[in-house]
Chains A and B, each alone.
Chain A
Amino acid sequence: MNWTGHSSRKPVAANAPDLDRLRAENAELSALLKEAEDTLDAIRSGDVDALVVGDDIYTLDSANAASNKLRKDVLAQMEDAVVAYDNDEHIIFMNAAAERQYAKETSEMLGRLKSELFAESWPNPDGHGSAVRALLESGFYRAHSIHVRSGGVSFHVESTVSQLRDAGGQSIGCLAVIRDISDRVSAEEAIRAARSEQEQVDAALRESQERLRDADRRKDEFLATLAHELRNPLAPIRNALQIMRLTHEAVIHENARGIIERQLQQMVHLVDDLLDVSRISQGKVELRREHADLAAVVQTAVETSRPLIDAGKHELTLRLPAPGTLIVDVDVTRITQVLANLLNNAAKYTPQQGHIEVSAECANDCARISIKDSGVGIPADLLPQVFEMFAQIDRTLERAQGGLGIGLALVKSLVELHGGSVEAHSEGQGLGSQFVVHLPLTVAEARLSPQVSSSISTPQPSKSMRVLVVDDNVDSAESLSQCLRMFGYQTLTAHDGVAAVRSAESYFPDVALLDIGLPLMSGYEAAKRIRSLPGNERLLLLALSGWGQEEDRRKSRAAGFDHHFVKPVDIEALTNVLVEHEHYLAADALPSPG
């Protein structure tokens, strides 16, 4: 060790006087001497923990030197950050992983406060408190927290912290092994999110299952009611037939026939309603809108419901606008059906000799039709449900009155199809009900179609027209044909497409009425062939189909049909077309004047 040699390389000032130079050299030598003394003192008093001897370092705690070296190597190799700090949280050790984790160099951080390495926050509010308690009580804790290093970068860590003690057992600080668990935490969060999503899906599934079960239960109830309602009229019909077989008295026969007719009418109503509901819910109903006088439509509905109103001996008050003043653009048949339905309800749910009040007026750019009765009313809690399909207000009552609870659902669907709305009001049970229908008014000037104001026009009977009726349902073909014969037409029936074409060849009909779904040859094909027969250019081709969508009508036109009727065919409309064709043929047969 040659400290003096080292210091001699440091001349004080080049041009200083000798005295100054000597004084400086003296000071330097004194300092060096002091250093040497201090060093010896420190070594003697144990103020050093390592000595450099030759090329080797001698750690003074030689008993533990080997294990210390091993520990140091282990700490250096660890993937987890290791930080040791004293009781005042000054950093006294950092391994390489800690340098990487906190982006700081050990040399720079030693002796500094731990808080300069990272800020710590606790996801669990008591996390810090319980960590401190555990450290005091057991000298150890493991906890999850969030570390924020310089630059604001934060990550989740799991720290394992234990007390450091000196040989005498005194606490000298802590050793923290800090593992970055951000990946694990985000994976756990993803799992939690997925799980909660799964739970939501499960809940939605359960809910929809519940709804399905509910719908299924309502369907079962509905079917039970339906069976009951369909069987109801059968008993009197069977009885009436029995009576007719047992006696030949004309009066009794007439009564029995009346019973059968009435019961049959009820069944027809029931089935019609069902079909309508089904068609509307499948979007298969097309409105045949026309400008119509609302007063006349209400009148027609009242006439339709008249038997029920009269049967209940109800007093009916009508408040209608002057004819032709309230014009709506509606499917007259459907709106008549809606109003008749509401009127029937009013008549059914009002005890004998009640009051029914019908009014129609213009209100806020709408046509407002009100049907009010003094009947059994609707409990407030059931008001919101009255228009629901199959949701009967009072099952027992409904049964007693005979019905399926679909009438109001039908009313609502039809009114909404028209762009209108319907509301139910009631002050409560026993206090009567009021149904209010709003329909949009037509913007256009009132131009009444003649069909609305006048009642049903009776067709002019004809002796001359020949009608070919084709339907694979023999009863349908025969009954329609019989009906037409009663109107004075000559008819012939056929039951498949091939027979239809053959009949047309030999029978020369003026009109051919063809079902579309025919065996052997479809109605479309049969129509094309019949049309192409010589002399059949002016033949009236009428399609008869279960389907009335625009697409079906387009196909019919393409096949050469003049009109498309939807089953069940409205005889009224059919005979109107026949009369028109008859006029056309007659006009054509006359030599044109001039």
Chain B
Amino acid sequence: MKRSSANSSGAGENYILRLYVSGATALSGRAVINARKIFDAHLKGRYRLEVLDIADNVAMAMKDQIVAAPTLVKLAPTPLRRFIGDMSNAEKILERLGVRQRSPS
């Protein structure tokens, strides 16, 4: 079972991520798959990813200050970070989310 990452109350779960997508379009689909791939590879067992259709979750999207889909939001740990696009640039995402420690540019 590869489900541990999805369990909401996992003890080692310290990354809480939310991915806003726009239905089952090719781009959004790709974004979900890529995001899942990245986190399974680098944060296995330490993350929870929630995939939300932006059309069904307008209020929450506004609260999260989303301007477009697909957008990934890192809710925890702080600081809150957003990443937009099809999630194909793994290195950039990892860096942005603070998974890979790099000196800030």
> Would you call A380 an interface residue if the criterion is a C-beta within 8 Å of the partner chain's C-beta atoms?
no
Task: Give Cα A39 to B83, complex, Å.
Answer: 8
**B52: chain A residues within 8 A (beta carbon):** 107
> Would you call B90 an interface residue if the criterion is a C-beta within 8 Å of the partner chain's C-beta atoms?
no
**B71: chain A residues within 8 A (beta carbon):** 48
Task: Give Cα A61 to B23, complex, Å.
Answer: 11
**A110: chain B residues within 8 A (beta carbon):** 21, 32, 36, 51
Task: Give Cα A7 to B24, complex, Å.
Answer: 32
> Would you call A59 an interface residue if the criterion is a C-beta within 8 Å of the partner chain's C-beta atoms?
yes
Interface pair A107/B51, CB less than 8 Å apart: yes
Task: Give Cα A264 to B1, complex, Å.
Answer: 97
Provide a sorted-by-A list of 13 A–B residue pairs whose CB atoms are within 8 angstroms.
A47-B27, A48-B70, A48-B84, A49-B22, A49-B25, A49-B69, A52-B61, A57-B54, A57-B58, A86-B29, A88-B33, A107-B52, A116-B3
> Would you call A108 an interface residue if the criterion is a C-beta within 8 Å of the partner chain's C-beta atoms?
yes
Partner of A42, one of B3, B25, B68: B68
Partner of B1, one of A27, A56, A150: A150
Q: Mark A7-30, 1 if CB is under 8 A from B, else 0.
A: 100100000000000000001101
Min CB distance B92 to A, Å, is 9
> Would you call A313 an interface residue if the criterion is a C-beta within 8 Å of the partner chain's C-beta atoms?
no
Task: Give Cα A39 to B73, complex, Å.
Answer: 13
> Would you call A3 an interface residue if the criterion is a C-beta within 8 Å of the partner chain's C-beta atoms?
yes
Interface pair A50/B54, CB less than 8 Å apart: yes
**B41: chain A residues within 8 A (beta carbon):** none
> Which residues of B are in contact with A by a Cβ distance under 8 Å?
1-3, 6, 21-30, 32-37, 49-52, 54-55, 58, 61-62, 65-71, 78-86, 96, 104-105
> Would you call A92 an interface residue if the criterion is a C-beta within 8 Å of the partner chain's C-beta atoms?
yes
Min CB distance B102 to A, Å, is 12
> Would you call A257 an interface residue if the criterion is a C-beta within 8 Å of the partner chain's C-beta atoms?
no
Partner of A92, one of B32, B37, B49, B65: B32
**B34: chain A residues within 8 A (beta carbon):** 111
Min CB distance B5 to A, Å, is 9
**B70: chain A residues within 8 A (beta carbon):** 48-49
Assuming A50-B55, A84-B24, what are 12 further A-B pairs, CB within 8 angstroms?
A10-B78, A42-B85, A47-B84, A48-B70, A48-B71, A52-B66, A92-B28, A92-B29, A92-B32, A108-B6, A111-B35, A172-B29
**B54: chain A residues within 8 A (beta carbon):** 50, 52, 57
> Would you call A573 an interface residue if the criterion is a C-beta within 8 Å of the partner chain's C-beta atoms?
no
**A310: chain B residues within 8 A (beta carbon):** none
User: Looking at chain A's contact residues, is the secondary structure mostly helix, strand, loop, or mixed?
Assistant: mixed
Min CB distance A165 to B, Å, is 10
**Chain A residue nearest in CB terms to B27:** A49
**B65: chain A residues within 8 A (beta carbon):** 1, 3, 6
Q: Mark A38-61, 1 if CB is under 8 A from B, else 0.
A: 110011000111111001110111
**B27: chain A residues within 8 A (beta carbon):** 47-49
**B21: chain A residues within 8 A (beta carbon):** 110
Interface pair A52/B79, CB less than 8 Å apart: no
Chain A: number of interface residues, binned into ranges: 35 or more
Interface pair B84/A90, CB less than 8 Å apart: no
Interface pair B62/A52, CB less than 8 Å apart: yes
Min CB distance B35 to A, Å, is 6
**B68: chain A residues within 8 A (beta carbon):** 39, 42-43, 48, 50-52
Min CB distance B39 to A, Å, is 9
Interface pair B84/A38, CB less than 8 Å apart: yes
> Would you call A140 an interface residue if the criterion is a C-beta within 8 Å of the partner chain's C-beta atoms?
no
**Chain B residue nearest in CB terms to A107:** B51
The 8 closest A-B pairs by CB, nearest first: A111-B36, A92-B29, A50-B22, A93-B24, A48-B68, A111-B32, A50-B69, A47-B85
**B6: chain A residues within 8 A (beta carbon):** 108
Task: Give Cα A501 to B80, complex, Å.
Answer: 126
**A90: chain B residues within 8 A (beta carbon):** 29, 32-33, 36
Interface pair A48/B85, CB less than 8 Å apart: yes
Min CB distance A230 to B, Å, is 89
> Would you call A537 an interface residue if the criterion is a C-beta within 8 Å of the partner chain's C-beta atoms?
no
**Chain B residue nearest in CB terms to A48:** B68
Task: Give Cα A87 to B62, complex, Å.
Answer: 33
Task: Give Cα A585 to B62, complex, Å.
Answer: 131
> Would you call A261 an interface residue if the criterion is a C-beta within 8 Å of the partner chain's C-beta atoms?
no
Partner of B3, one of A38, A108, A173: A108
Task: Give Cα A27 to B96, complex, Å.
Answer: 12
- Among B21, B65, B79: residue with most chain A CB under 10 A: B79
Task: Give Cα A537 to B14, complex, Å.
Answer: 117
Instruction: Take A48-B84, A52-B68, A107-B52 as given contacts and tell me if A27 and B22 are in contact as well, using a CB distance cutoff of 8 Å.
Output: no
**A34: chain B residues within 8 A (beta carbon):** 96, 105
Interface pair A28/B85, CB less than 8 Å apart: no
Task: Give Cα A103 to B104, complex, Å.
Answer: 43
Q: Mark A237-270, 1 if CB is under 8 A from B, else 0.
A: 0000000000000000000000000000000000
Interface pair A47/B79, CB less than 8 Å apart: no
Min CB distance A202 to B, Å, is 51
**B50: chain A residues within 8 A (beta carbon):** 107
Min CB distance B85 to A, Å, is 4
Partner of B79, one of A1, A10, A57: A10
**A38: chain B residues within 8 A (beta carbon):** 83-85
Interface pair A116/B2, CB less than 8 Å apart: yes
> Would you call A567 an interface residue if the criterion is a C-beta within 8 Å of the partner chain's C-beta atoms?
no
Min CB distance B56 to A, Å, is 9
- Among B1, B26, B83: residue with most chain A CB under 10 A: B26
Task: Give Cα A233 to B49, complex, Å.
Answer: 108
Task: Give Cα A39 to B27, complex, Å.
Answer: 15
Min CB distance B31 to A, Å, is 9
Min CB distance A151 to B, Å, is 11
Partner of A112, one of B23, B36, B55: B36
Task: Give Cα A49 to B50, complex, Å.
Answer: 19
Interface pair B32/A55, CB less than 8 Å apart: no
Which residues of A152-172 are within 8 A (CB) of B?
166, 172
**A35: chain B residues within 8 A (beta carbon):** 81-84
Task: Give Cα A51 to B71, complex, Å.
Answer: 10
Interface pair B37/A61, CB less than 8 Å apart: no
**A47: chain B residues within 8 A (beta carbon):** 27, 84-86
